[in-house]
Amino acid sequence: MTTPLMPVLPLPPLLLIGCGKMGGAMLAGWLELGLPAETVVVEPSEAAVGALAGRIRHVGSMAEIPAGFAPAAIILATKPQEAANALPALTPLCGPGAVFISIMAGCNVAGMNALLGGRALLIRAMPNTPAAIRRGFTVAFAGPGVSEAQCELANRLLSAIGEAAWVDDETLIDPVTAVSGGGPAYVFLLAELMERAAISQGLPPDLARRLARATVAGSGALLDVSGEDTATLRRNVTSPKGTTERALAVLMREGAWPALMEEAIEAATARSRELAG
């Protein structure tokens, strides 16, 4: 007997505040899930919305949000420094029927709720830029009063751009921001430095670029599908007394990569906490 497939429930209307790189990536993922045309996107730049504009309602400012519009979720994807000006205008939407999902780095639940008049139901989330190709990783925290159904909706929205995980302690969003939110930049820096080093060893620039990018991308793909831990994968590449072992002796010596990465994550975590006030 064949088990019938469960129907895919349509998404409810949403309100997206900000359609930059991350907001746009999220919007594209939601459209693939069947986002209703009643969804409203507030974004001053028409170019940022681009070809998606015809599939949702695009407005240039908060003042243009249709009167009586009641979205199931309001996604705060504007710049963190704009929160103080943007959030108070959204207080009429606060209530048990709508949940705010913020991806603004460094903005904590208490601070955002104060700007929203103290009545908002808030989820704080930290995605990363691989969301643009549906390979992101988002960690979320649900604030007081958020219902199970609202968490399920948020999880569905966040899963549309990759993997999603949840934490019960909001302070953990700060190291998540440092590791995952900023992590793609660290990987891109690795590829950048590998390319530069390859050129310094005499490789043509075009070949150096292709080698560095393909090596980083391929290694990431292998890491994604492998069941082995990262240390084992590293050892698998490292032949005794070989070239890789010689290179790792430099990268792993005292004060090099292990210490610098720890210092970098600590610095980013501290900055996230500073932004939260």
Domains for the chain: give ranges and CATH numbers: 14-170 (3.40.50.720), 183-276 (1.10.3730.10)
Q: Which residues contact 24 (CB under 8 A, 6 or more apart)?
A: 48, 49, 50, 52
Q: With a cut of 90, say whether residue 7 has pLDDT above it.
A: no
Q: What's the confidence (pLDDT) of residue 171?
A: 95
The residue with greater pLDDT, 29 or 124, is: 124
What mean pLDDT is predicted for residues 101-106? 94
Strand order in the sheet with 40-42: 57-59, 40-42, 14-17, 73-76, 99-102, 122-126, 136-142, 162-166
pLDDT digits (tens, 9 = 90+) for 239-268: 999 999 999 999 999 999 999 999 999 999
pLDDT digits (tens, 9 = 90+) for 40-81: 999 998 888 887 778 889 999 999 999 999 999 999 999 988
Q: Tokens 């390859």 belong to which residue?
A: 198
